[in-house]
Structure 1
């Protein structure tokens, strides 16, 4: 009986690991897709930006966090960059 429970526990553990791996893979694929979309959009632009573009910011930036002398920009693709003054 104990062997059966051990095997059953292992099966449940492996199923959970598989489910977690599938979720992580889907999240990673979503990030790749968003990065690809951002790259395609930026490559399609014919000129350099010379002024603030609200639509562009809302399309690509998730949030900006200010920390004293620097700030961090998190893009919707999941990429984060830190900018020091």
Structure 2
């Protein structure tokens, strides 16, 4: 929500008249990039802070995978600032 809040604050234009841009495209770009670079789905979803929809799976999957996410996020940062 931080990126969406920023886009609203700066009134970033959207393709839809009367609306502001959202971060959905940025999220989708990250998911595509992480898949293309061989990162596990769970790792990418944890990086996006998504919740596990299945309650049973959520009960058993409590880690935030922080140390495994760190190299992925550093590589994503390099990708974003390279583009």
TM-score range, shorter chain: under 0.3
Q: What TM-score does the superposition give when structure 1 sets the normalisation length?
A: 0.25
TM superposition score normalised by structure 2: 0.25
Task: Flag the structure with higher strand content.
Answer: 1
State which structure, 1 or 2, has the greater radius of gyration over its C-alpha atoms.
Answer: 1
